[in-house]
Amino acid sequence: MSRTKKLKDAKELCYKNAVKAQSEIIKALRDESKADKERMDYLNALNITLQAAINDLKHDLGMQ
């Protein structure tokens, strides 16, 4: 398998995992809407970071 193919496969796996993780974070944000501010800030920060990673991976994979 070529190096380029391996890299693309790795990026696709990262993309899928990031989308799955973001879905779980969004669910947690909804389920824990009454959680303390620190927890909500943490979940929001994770969501923002994952969204940036997803956008970068989409760009790298030619999905945008």
24-41: per-residue pLDDT in tens?
A: 999 999 999 899 999 999
Mean pLDDT, the chain, integer: 95
pLDDT band at 1 (very low <50, low <70, confident <90, very high): confident
Per-residue confidence band for 44, with pLDDT thresholds at 50, 70 and 90 = very high
Question: Got the DSSP string for 1-42?
Answer: --HHHHHHHHHHHHHHHHHHHHHHHHHHHHHTTTS-HHHHHH
Region for 35 from its dihedrals, namely left if φ exceeds 0, alpha if ψ lies in -120 to 50, beta otherwise: beta
At residue 40, the pLDDT reads: 96
User: Taking a C-beta distance cutoff of 8 angstroms, is the pair 24, 50 a contact?
Assistant: no
Task: Locate the domains of the chain by residue range.
Answer: 3-60
The residue type at 59: H
DSSP state, residue 61: T
pLDDT value, residue 58: 97
